[in-house]
């Protein structure tokens, strides 16, 4: 997995998963066009964190400071971000994938967030998300731990909501597509 290449060592991690009635290539395509602006929960949590409404899509996250670290089509999409997440502004660093891997300046944390896609059977796909955080020194680890004790449950809620939204969207599209085919 790409996440193992970009962030093999980490201090904090969370994983979530969901099974979706859709082929793996459709799930991967849906991730690339992710838009969670219809989720009241995510909008509220982003607003409370001071994040702009424009960051409620994959494109928006990239504009905000997330880095596209890599992709294995129909298997994994990996994003990364480096910053001082426990501060008001976040002090996000603008890096490329190589800069992300090599970044080790004290006082920061590196986060990698992936979407793993695994075809389980004909038309059934397991979608997982893993978030890993590596803190560059002891002081940032202490600060992040305090931040994460408050924010972590909400971060997990966002990721579970993202999975639910993707499942709902893909399964609705599948039903609509089948209905159109049957109506011919």
Contact 108, 93 (CB under 8 A): yes
Q: pLDDT per residue over 26-68, tens digit each?
A: 999 999 999 999 999 999 999 988 888 888 999 999 999 999 9
**What pLDDT was estimated at residue 182?**
59
184 pLDDT exceeds 70?
no
Q: Is 73 left (phi over 0), alpha (psi -120 to 50) or beta?
A: beta
Question: What are the residues facing 15 on neighbouring strands?
Answer: 130
Nearest to 1 by CA among 66, 56, 95, 77: 77
Q: What is the pTM of this model?
A: 0.91
* Tokens found for residue 89: 């502004």
Buried b (16+ CB within 10 A) or exposed e, 107-142: ebbbbbbbbbbbbeeeeebbbbbbbbbbbbeeebbe
**What pLDDT was estimated at residue 178?**
60
Domains of the chain: 2-182 (3.30.530)
Q: pLDDT per residue over 95-144, tens digit each?
A: 999 999 999 999 999 999 999 999 999 889 999 999 999 999 999 999 99
Q: How far apart are CA 112 and CA 22, in angstroms?
A: 26
């Amino acid at each position: 997995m790409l996440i193992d290449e970009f962030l093999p060592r980490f201090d904090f991690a969370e994983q979530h998963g969901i099974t979706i009635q859709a082929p793996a290539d459709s799930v991967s395509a849906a991730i690339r066009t992710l838009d969670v602006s219809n989720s009241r929960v995510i909008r509220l949590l982003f607003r409370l964190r001071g994040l702009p409404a424009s960051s409620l899509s994959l494109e928006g996250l990239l504009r905000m400071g997330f880095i596209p670290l890599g992709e294995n089509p129909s298997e994994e999409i990996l994003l990364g971000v480096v910053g001082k997440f426990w501060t008001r502004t976040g002090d996000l660093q603008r890096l490329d994938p190589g800069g992300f891997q090599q970044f080790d300046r004290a006082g920061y944390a590196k986060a990698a967030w992936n979407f793993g896609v695994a075809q389980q059977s004909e038309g059934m796909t397991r979608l997982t998300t893993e978030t890993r955080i590596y803190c560059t020194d002891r002081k940032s680890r202490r600060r992040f731990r305090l931040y994460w004790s408050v924010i972590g449950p909400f971060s997990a809620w966002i990721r579970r909501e993202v999975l639910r939204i993707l499942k709902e969207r893909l399964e609705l599209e599948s039903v609509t597509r089948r209905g159109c085919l049957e109506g011919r």
